[in-house]
Amino acid sequence: MKKIFKITAIVFFMSSTFLNANEGMWLVSLLNKMNEAEMKGIGLNLTKEEIYSINNASLKDAIVRLNYGMCTGEVVSNKGLIFTNHHCGYDAIQTLSTIDNNLLLNGFCAKSRNEELPINNFKISFLVRIDNVTNDMLGVVKAEMTEAEREKALAAKSKEIAAANNENGKYEVEVKSFYYGNEYYIMVYQTFSDIRLVGNPPESVGKFGGDTDNWMWPRHTGDFSMLRIYADKNNEPAAYSKENIPYTPKHFLPVNIDGLEQGDFTMIMGFPGRTSRYLTSYGIEQAVEIRNPALIECFGTKLDSWKSVMDKDPQVRLMYAAKYASTANTWKYYIGQTRGLKRLDVKSDKEKIEQDFNKWAASSPELKQKYADVLKTVKEYYTEWDPFVKASTYSSLTGISGAEFMNFTSRMSEEIIQILNKPDQTKRNEELASLLPEIEEYFKEYDANTDKVVFVNLTNLYRERITTNRPTWHNLLDKKYKGNVNAYATKLFETSIFTDKNRLLEFVKKPNLKTLNKDLAFIAASSSSLHAMNFRSLNPAQKFSKGMRTFVAGLREMNPEKTYAPDANSTMRLTYGVVHDYKPADAVQYNYYTSAEGIMEKRDNNNPEFVVPDKLASLIENKDFGPYANKKGELPICFIHNLDITGGNSGSPVIDGDGNIVGIAFDGNWEAMSGDIAFEPNLQRTISVDIRYVLFIIEKLMGGKNIVDELKFVHKSTKVDPTVIPVIDLPAPVVNPKSNKNSKKIK
């Protein structure tokens, strides 16, 4: 029977996420009627209040921030069990591993609470509430202020607001800028520090495909790990104690193992780190032509240096596994971003926006006065800063952010000098003693021989690329060591107090400035730090901040019918869309999910990136999938959907229309790596691991039936037919409000 629908439904269909990805990482407290209409039209069965509420349990109470925005996790049981990505727990798993008991390589699964392993220096935070404080913040800004005066006034007000909302230290409060300083919101968090490792798959599952498959589709990676939050007897945050008990959450996510099909609604809630969607064409040109090539070369040199040692030494391979994985991810990201910006000609798209803006800004005397020179100001910033970007980037990534000892020496020496300048001897001794745990912790994950290779290779790279305006320690290198970097490095690593734990511990017992000032690591690090400060003084950043703040305000005023999502800034956001295949290139069509068959097709046990353990291979070959197979009898591994995520979203739950978890997000796709700057609706896809594969690995491979039994299972409701255009009345366009009143209500 033919479907009859309203004209408004056609408009909705054309603008909805059925055909195109929905750009926007939406602040969860500000979901508007347009968001709600779109979401309900494609399968959401929840209300805004069930997604975000400060008065009742809601989805936000099951979403957690890991280590202040490094990743996202989700509560999946009433006993504080957390699912996140394997790579989000990677560093903790590596730290708990030894050569004889390599949890990273072999996997780990606690069969009881007593077997769960405490993790040092790991924080998990729940969002309590979001408040609009725009009026309070901008109330201290005066028209006659310089940018420096404005920043100082805003910083002072931010500190005041945070203190007024932390309830005597119970909460952590952050004041966040949105739309380049046009709006401000506070984020109130409750943070837990007693976190324990519950389990992780072997690296052959959690990192299957390695660097080769990273950012790629099709994918067959079981990218998950499991943590648990512990609290005191009152269910409040507490330091680690054997007396602590599993945290009882306000809300947790039930598990839907019925799976997903093309066109099914999905949404992701999490803490995306950073996007630059308002970047101008001038910024894109700088990234493509100057900054990114330098970043790629520096990161690549560091990776090659690490790998040359890791391949020879199993202990170093384990010690540097997390560092290598993180840097490799960043290195490949910038390669993909540069490729995408060029291939998709994003600069031309930005130029069109800027042309339209300038035409609009010139359309009336009032607009001309406010916005006529805005893009000129932004362009001036890049014109003034571009000549220094290459040298600044190489200087930073081969200097203070290069070899590990450089940053450590800079931080540690600064602390020591501050302590030595204090008049009270007793106080000095106490504060010097307080440095000892930091020193012990640093050297647990440090290998001097490896760092020497990095230092030599990065310094040689820097000297090849930058021939003038070098840090002053290069004068010593040229004069005393005849430019021989290896000779300088050999002397440094043989004598410096900052490259050997015992030497540093002895120094801290009896510190003196004479020894410090003669130390080669201190000379290199302090010189590099000063050099970086000089570059910062050359950066006309205040011109950029003023120009972009005004430009973004103008864009929103120019298009009042459009609701602009603010750039990601490690605050809780929601993105929504549908499960969707895509066409990456001519004559190529990608399916929306992968299956265990693909694991066996990729299997190569001579290649460490594609090892398939015998037990897993046997389970797949025998189709021993238990209840986790789909209707075709396949074991689903990963799926793609057209949502808008970025770094920080790693580990975020993929949630169905009823509020159940169906997967865990872990990556984006190679063809849309420029998406942090320019969203590509036809190409942009989020890659997520299917919750059924996660549970299959936990139960069948890891023997974690006790964990599976802890979860709550549900079945999905009737799906929206993706071939039928939904009948829906759209609300009137949402106009950007000129007023920014403080409110705790969802708008």
Angle at 382 (CA atoms; ends 376, 384), nearest 5 degrees: 100
Q: Which of 16, 53, 58, 87 is catalytic?
A: 87
Q: Which residues contact 417 (CB under 8 A, 6 or more apart)?
A: 513, 516
The two three-digit tokens of residue 83, written as one number: 């699912």
Task: For residues 586 and 613, give the distance between their C-alpha atoms in angstroms, rounded to a whole number.
Answer: 36
Asked whether 374 and 361 are in contact (CB, 8 A), the reply is yes
Of 418, 410, 443, the C-alpha closest to 513 is 418
Instruction: Please give the helix or strand (H or E) that residue 172 lies within, else none.
Output: strand 172-178
CB 247 within 8 A of CB 231: yes
DSSP helix/strand/coil, 382: helix
Distance CA 158, CA 562 (A): 29
174 φ/ψ angles, rounded to the nearest 5 degrees: -120, 135
Query: Residues in the chain, how many?
Result: 747
With vertex at residue 439, the alpha carbon angle to CA 433 and CA 443, rounded to the nearest 5 degrees, is 155
- Other C-beta atoms closer than 10 Å to the C-beta of 434 total 11
Q: Which residues pair with 385 in a beta bridge?
A: none
Please give the backbone phi and psi of residue 177, each rounded to the nearest 5 degrees, phi first. -90, 140
Give the position of tokens 């600069």: 347
Q: What's the one-letter identity of residue 247?
A: Y
Of 305, 528, 650, 688, catalytic: 650
H or E element in which residue 129 lies: strand 124-132
Distance spanning both ends of the chain, measured CA to CA: 39
d(CA 280, CA 379): 9
436-444 vs 404-420: helix crossing angle, rounded to 10: 170
At 204, the amino acid letter reads S
Q: Is 223 a catalytic residue?
A: yes
| Of the candidates 51, 9, 14, the residue with the CA atom closest to the CA atom of residue 576 | 51
424: left (phi over 0), alpha (psi -120 to 50) or beta: beta
Distance in angstroms (rounded) separating the CA atoms of residues 519 and 488: 12
Q: Which of 131, 223, 519, 567 is catalytic?
A: 223
Q: Virtual CA dihedral for 191, 195, 200, 203, nearest 10 degrees?
A: 80
Q: Which two tokens stand for residue 115?
A: 């077997």
Catalytically active residues are: 87, 223, 650
